[in-house]
Structure 1
Amino acid sequence: MTSASTIRKRSLAVLSGVAVAALALSGCAAGTDSGTPGASSTITVGTTDKVTTLDPAGSYDNGSFFIMNNVFPFLMNSNPGSSDVNPDIAESAGFTSPTEYTVKLKPGLKWANGHDLTASDVKFSFDRQLKIAADNGPSTLLYNLDSTEVKDDLTVVFHLKAANDQIWPQILSSPAAPIVDEEVFSPDALTTDQEIVDGNAFAGPYVISSYKFNELVQFKAYDGYQGLLGKPKTKTINLKYYADQSNMKLDVQEGNIDVATRSLSATDIESLSGNKNVVVHKGPGGEIRYIVFNFNTMPFGATTADADPAKALAVRQAIADLIDRDAIANQVYKGTYLPLYSYVPAGLTGATEVLKTLYGDGNGGPDAAKAKSTLEAAGITQPVTLNLQYNPDHYGASSGDEYALIKSQLEASGLFTVNLQSTEWVQYSKDRSADVYPLYQLGWFPD
C-alpha cells in the first residue's frame, strides 16, 4: 500500500522493482501452552513495522492497516487465504441499480463502548474520508463514490459516479473502508490515537486494551463482533514493536515472542530456519518495491534551475538500464524476493513481465552501454548527481544493503554519483508527501 495521493501529486516511475514473498516465523514463547501460536489464551507478536496513525483517514500503510484490520469493522471482508470478498458486518450487499450499491447491516451491532453501530456510522465514515482527504490517507480509493445515503438504521446506499463498478465490493474491504464511531471520531479532522483508544471505538474481532505508540499494543477479543472472520481463537494478543530486527531475532531465539513478522533480513530468516524451535511460514507475498521520481525536483526536473524534460526522461531511462534486479533479489534477499518487470507482481491476476524488454539488455539484465548512449543522446555528458532516500525500518533492515547495492550499481557505470540518505518511517512518510525527496524508496502491498 502506498499513499494514493502520491499518484495525484506526481508521476511514478517503477525502476528498481522487486516482488516479495510473505514470510513469518513462529516459535514457542515462555508462558504458552504449546508450540502452536493460538493454542494459548495469549500470544506475543513481534514486528519492526510502524504505525502512522490509528485513524483510517490518515494512513495508507501496512503497519497501520494491520491494526485497523483487527479492531475496526468492515462492510466487506475476505477469509484468510482468499481474495474473494463477502459481507462482513453486512447482512447483504449488492447492486440495486447500475450506479447504486446497497448494503444492509446485521441487526443489533454495537461498538465496544456500547454505542449503536448503524448506517449513520457508515455514511459518516465515508463522508469524512472524502472531506479530510489526508495526503497520507486512502481517500483517493473512493474516486468513484458520489455520495452515501442512509435509508434507515440498517440500510445504506452508495451512489457511484460510473456504472457497474465491479471493484466496488473490494473497495469496501480496503484501507478506505473501516467503519468508525461517529460519536468518537471528528467529522473533518484526524482523531488522535489516544482519543480513539480512550473512546473504545472498536467493533472488529479485537479491541485495543493498552496502547503505547510504536512500542506495545495489547488486543483483547471483542465478544460483540458479528463479522465474517468469526470469534477470535486467542483472547489476548500483544504486539511488540522493535527498533531493529536484530533484537527481534534475539527474542525469537530466546522464546520471548511467539510470532515475528515484517521484518527480518533474509540472512536472519536463513539462520532461524535451522532452529528446531522455530517454524518459518512461506507464501506468495504480492508486495513490491520501487523507486519514485519526483518529476519536479529530480535532476532536470520541472522546478530545477536546469529544467529539461528530455534530459529528465533520459536520467530515468538510464537508471532503469543500469539496475540489476536479479542481483538485488539474490545477493541481498537470498531469493526471497523476485525481480519485478511489471506493475503487477507475480502471483496476482494479470501479472505479465511487460517492462522486461524495455530496459537494460532486454532480458532483465543491466546494460551500461545502453544507459550511456541514452544520456549522451539527450546531451548529458557529465556524471549526474542523484539524491536518493530510503527507509530502514518500514521496509526492513535489508533496505540498507539493497540501496547500498543500488548506489554501487549506478556509480560503477561512471554515469551517476549517488548521495544516499535514510529516514525513519514516521518522518519519512510525512517528508515524501511534502515533496522533500527527489528520488526515494517506496513499496506497495495488496489492498
Structure 2
Amino acid sequence: MNRKNLVLPAVVGLLAPVLAACGASDDRADRGAAVVVGTTDRLVASKGSPAPLDPAVGYEAGAWNVLRQTVQTLTRVPLGGGRPVPEAAENCRFTDRQNESYRCELRPGLTFADGSPLTADDVKYSIDRVLALRTPGGPATLLDTVDTVEAQNEREVVFHLRTPDATFPYKLATPVAGIVPRSAYAAKSARTGFQVDGSGPYTMKATTEDQRVVRISFTRNPRYKGGLKIRNERVELDLFRSADAMETALRDRRIDMMTRTMNPARIQQLREHPADGVELIEIPGLATHYLGFDTTDPTVKNRAVRQAMAQIVDRDEITAKAYRTTADPLYSPIPSGIATHTNSFYDAYGEPSPAKAAQLLRSAHVRTPVKLTLDYTTDHYGDATAEEFELLKKQLNDTGLFDVTVRGTAWDTFRPAQLRGDYAVYGMGWFPDFPDPDNFTAPFLGRDNVLNSAYTSATAQRTLIPQSRRETDRTATADTFRRVQDIVARDVPLLPIWQGKEYVAARQGITGVERAVSTSAGLRLGELARDPR
C-alpha cells in the first residue's frame, strides 16, 4: 500500500507542561548524538505477563516495536508497502502452485549480535519454539498454517504448510518469526524480563523502575547483515506515563520526536496553530479500535444484545468529541484503505436507532434494561479512551434499554483479566501485523484467537479464510472477505468503533521522520538521523 504523508509545522508553545516528565531523567547533553524518541507504550513485567519481549509471547504494538529493531526476520515489508522482500534471507519463494511449500535461502555469513553463527537450524528452532509454547492470546496464531519446518542445510529452510497460505511471506516478516539464539531462549519456557538477543540492526539495553521499562538504548549492531539501511549509530526510546509528560519532554528538548499516543486535543491545536520549531506528521493509519465480547457471559451471550448495541452506538459522535480529527468512524473489522473493505455494519444497521434496537431485544425476549459493565484500559490506547467510554455509556443508557457502568484498569492488569474472561464487554485496539484483510479477520474468528474468545465462525475459519489464502492476487478475494465481514456484522463477536491515524511530532533537524512510522504504528528507528547541516 502506498503511504501518503502530510507534514505540517506545529507550535512548541502549545505543548504545555501538565505533568512532570518521567522516563527521561537524564540531561540531554549526557546522551550524546543519539536520536531520542518518546512513546507512551508501556512495557511491564508482571505475574500475569512476565515475558513481554519474548517473540513467542509478546503481541502488542509496543513490544513489537522493540523486537523489530533487535530480532531479524526472513522477510520484511518494504517502506512503501507491497509484497515482502528478503531480509535475513537472500531469497524466498513458494515452490509449488498450491502455496503450500515455502523455501528460503539465508544470506551467507549471518551471525547473531554476539558473533555466533545463524543458520537454518536457528530459524527452525525459533518457529518450532513459538508453536510449542502457543501462549494464550499470543502471536502463535499467525503461524497456524505451519505443519513442519525443515532445515535442509546451513542456509536453506523449507516451511511445509498444512493448507495453502498466500499470506505466509507477510507472516514471516513479523516479530513472531524473529530468529533467536537457543542459548538465550529455552525451547519450552518463555524468556522473562526485558532483554532481547538477535541479529537485527540494533542491540538493546533496558532501564527499568519497579518492573516497568522507562528507557531502551538501541546501539547499532556492527554484525547486522540485512536489507535495511541504518542511518544512525544510536537511538534511545523513552517510555512515558502520559502524553502530557511526553509533550513536556519535547518542549524541554529532552526528546527529539514523539510517537504514539499523542493527545487528540493537542494534535488538533498543533494543526490549527502552526509555528516554527516542530513538525507534525500525519500518516494514514490502519489501527482499529472496537468493543470485544465474551460471548459466553450471560449478559451478552444472546446475540440480540450485541446486535442492539451495534444498532445504538453513534460512531460519528465518538470520533468528533473524543478523537477530534485523529480518527474516523469504522463500520467493519477491515479498515478503509485495505482492499476488500466494506461497510458491513452500516449495511446491516444503518444510522443509530434506539427503536430498532428495542425491536431486536423484544424479538429475542431480552428483558430490559440490560445491565452490563464496559471495561477499558486507562493507559494503553491514549488519554481519550476514558472520554470515549463515557460517551458509549451515555449513548446506551439514554435509550433506556441498557444500564451501563464503565470501569478503567491499567493495561498490565486489564489484559490478563481480559484473557481470563473476566470482562463481558471490553475495549481493545488492533495494530495490524501486515496490511492484508486476512490479518483483520482470521486472528479473531477461530479457535485459539487473539482475544481468547469462545466465539468461532466455522464458515469463516474452515471455508472462507482458507479459500482466500489460495489467492496470490489478494484483490481477487473481495467477494470472500465481503462474506466474512457480513458474518462479523451479523454475529457481532466484536463491534468496530473507529479507525485511527498515526501522528509524529519531531524537532527540526531530525531527518527520516516521515519514514520512521508505518501505517500500523510500527517504528523504523533506523531511518532517523540528525541533519548534519
TM-score calculated relative to the size of structure 1 = 0.85
Describe the superposition over 1:182-220 as per-residue Cα deviations: whole angstroms up to 9, x where unpaired.
1110101101235x45xxx22111110344243111111
The 1:246–1:65 alpha-carbon spacing in structure 2 relative to 1, beyond 3 Å, is same
Offset of 1:22 from its aligned partner?
10
2:516 corresponds to: none
Amino acid at match of 2:131: L
The 1:104–1:404 alpha-carbon spacing in structure 2 relative to 1, beyond 3 Å, is same
- 2:345 match: secondary structure: coil
1:434 corresponds to: 420
Answer yes or no: is 1:357 the counterpart of 2:347: yes
Contact 2:71 2:175 in 1 (8 A): no
Offset of 1:126 from its aligned partner?
0.5
Amino acid at match of 2:55: P
1:139 corresponds to: 140
1:56 corresponds to: 55
Amino acid at match of 1:437: Y
Offset of 1:300 from its aligned partner?
5.3
1:398 corresponds to: 384
In 1: Cα distance, 2:298 partner to 2:338 partner: 32
1:9 corresponds to: none
- 2:348 match: secondary structure: coil
The 1:419–1:287 alpha-carbon spacing in structure 2 relative to 1, beyond 3 Å, is same
- 1:81 match: secondary structure: coil
2:278 corresponds to: 278
Describe the superposition over 1:237-287 as per-residue Cα deviations: whole angstroms up to 9, x where unpaired.
111111111111222222221111110121011233435322111111101
Answer yes or no: is 1:188 the counterpart of 2:178: no
- 1:262 match: secondary structure: coil
Describe the superposition over 1:298-317 as per-residue Cα deviations: whole angstroms up to 9, x where unpaired.
5053xxxxxxxxxx211111
Contact 2:28 2:253 in 1 (8 A): no
Match of 2:400 among 414, 423, 427: 414
1:346 corresponds to: 336
Contact 1:24 1:261 in 2 (8 A): no
In 1: Cα distance, 2:192 partner to 2:10 partner: 33
- 1:181 match: secondary structure: coil
Amino acid at match of 1:435: G
Contact 1:104 1:156 in 2 (8 A): yes
1:313 corresponds to: 303
Q: What fraction of aligned residue pairs are identical, expressed as a percent?
A: 33
- Stretch deviating more after TM superposition (316-325 or 206-215): 206-215
Offset of 1:27 from its aligned partner?
9.8
The 1:151–1:300 alpha-carbon spacing in structure 2 relative to 1, beyond 3 Å, is closer
In 1: Cα distance, 2:300 partner to 2:7 partner: 40
Equivalent residue runs for 1:260-275 within 5 Å? 260-273=258-271, 274=273, 275=275
Answer yes or no: is 1:331 the counterpart of 2:321: yes
2:90 corresponds to: 91
- 1:179 match: secondary structure: coil
Answer yes or no: is 1:226 the counterpart of 2:188: no
- Stretch deviating more after TM superposition (270-279 or 247-256): 270-279
1:308 corresponds to: none
Answer yes or no: is 1:204 the counterpart of 2:203: no
In 2: Cα distance, 1:211 partner to 1:348 partner: 38
Answer yes or no: is 1:42 the counterpart of 2:34: yes
Answer yes or no: is 1:291 the counterpart of 2:291: yes
TM-score calculated relative to the size of structure 2 = 0.71
In 2: Cα distance, 1:41 partner to 1:125 partner: 35
Answer yes or no: is 1:107 the counterpart of 2:99: no
- 1:123 match: secondary structure: helix
Answer yes or no: is 1:380 the counterpart of 2:366: yes
Contact 1:252 1:260 in 2 (8 A): yes
The 1:400–1:83 alpha-carbon spacing in structure 2 relative to 1, beyond 3 Å, is farther
Offset of 1:419 from its aligned partner?
1.8
Query: In angstroms, what is the RMSD of aligned CA positions?
Result: 2.3
- 2:344 match: secondary structure: coil
Contact 2:250 2:258 in 1 (8 A): yes
- 1:162 match: secondary structure: coil
Offset of 1:44 from its aligned partner?
1.0
Contact 2:38 2:257 in 1 (8 A): yes
- 2:386 match: secondary structure: helix
Amino acid at match of 1:223: P
Describe the superposition over 1:55-91 as per-residue Cα deviations: whole angstroms up to 9, x where unpaired.
0111211111011111100000022232321000101
In 1: Cα distance, 2:8 partner to 2:60 partner: 18
In 2: Cα distance, 1:337 partner to 1:344 partner: 15
Q: Any gaps of 5 or more consecutive residues in structure 2?
A: 13-23, 45-51, 434-533
Amino acid at match of 2:412: V
In 2: Cα distance, 1:113 partner to 1:331 partner: 51
Contact 1:391 1:428 in 2 (8 A): yes
Contact 1:392 1:423 in 2 (8 A): yes
Equivalent residue runs for 1:246-257 within 5 Å? 246-257=244-255
Describe the superposition over 1:416-444 as per-residue Cα deviations: whole angstroms up to 9, x where unpaired.
11121111112222111111111101111
Describe the superposition over 1:79-115 as per-residue Cα deviations: whole angstroms up to 9, x where unpaired.
2232321000101111223432111101111111121
The 1:272–1:256 alpha-carbon spacing in structure 2 relative to 1, beyond 3 Å, is farther
- 2:404 match: secondary structure: strand
2:78 corresponds to: 79
The 1:186–1:211 alpha-carbon spacing in structure 2 relative to 1, beyond 3 Å, is farther
Contact 1:218 1:239 in 2 (8 A): yes
Amino acid at match of 2:245: N
In 1: Cα distance, 2:218 partner to 2:310 partner: 44
Q: Structure 1 stretches (4+) deviating beyond 4 angstroms?
A: 21-32
